[in-house]
Every structure is written in structure tokens, then in C-alpha cells.
Structure 1
């Protein structure tokens, strides 16, 4: 598990540093502020999806959860 997708949040410096310390080599970030981000797919190689719910809308949280379950 070396790849993580973070959805939500604006400034991730501390989060990405912590994730790197936990062994994640790749961090993909979607800030979730733009409505068209709902259309983005979760890449096949992603092992973990981290959703920061304070910074995204309800629809984005719902869609990401559904996509993660399917994958």
C-alpha cells in the first residue's frame, strides 16, 4: 500500500508529511471544491482513500464513497 488519494482540504503539507512517514510514496490530492471533480475516477493503484469531510460538499463525499466501494 504505497499510494493514497486525499479528497478535501486545501493545504496538505502536514498531512502529506505524515502519510510519507507512514510509508505512502504517492499522494494524489483532490481538493473537492470544484463540482467537476465528482467525475474524476479513483486510479486503480490507489490503496487508500482519505476523505477530509470538512472541506468537501455532501455530493462529493457520497460519490467518492461509492467509487471506493466499487473498486
Structure 2
């Protein structure tokens, strides 16, 4: 299952830190950012994804995050 999120992450270093934090909670996931996209896309590929947990984690670190339809 692939879930796509809109974020306000701007910098590569920020995205690397977030990927590391997400992998602590979802170690079997494939996670990446597309910072070139206007929505600063976060993609997570895993069998079990908790959208609320992902949004909460990004919010905790000061970033906005919402599921793209």
C-alpha cells in the first residue's frame, strides 16, 4: 500500500531527519520525499500504514502533513 502526503518540508536535511524518525516506527517501509513537487510530497510504501501516526509524528516535529486524496 502506498500513501501520499502533502507536507511543508522544505530542505533535504529536514526530509532525511523525518525519514529516519518514520523508519523507527515503520522499519519495513519505503519512504521518500519529492521536494521538487509544489506539495512537498511524502510517499510511504508499507503493508500497514497509520496515517494518523504519520501526521502526528510530523506535527510533533513542527511540520504540517495531510493525506492527499
TM range (shorter): 0.3 to 0.5
Q: Rg bigger for which structure?
A: 1
TM-score by length of 2: 0.38
Higher fraction of helix:
1
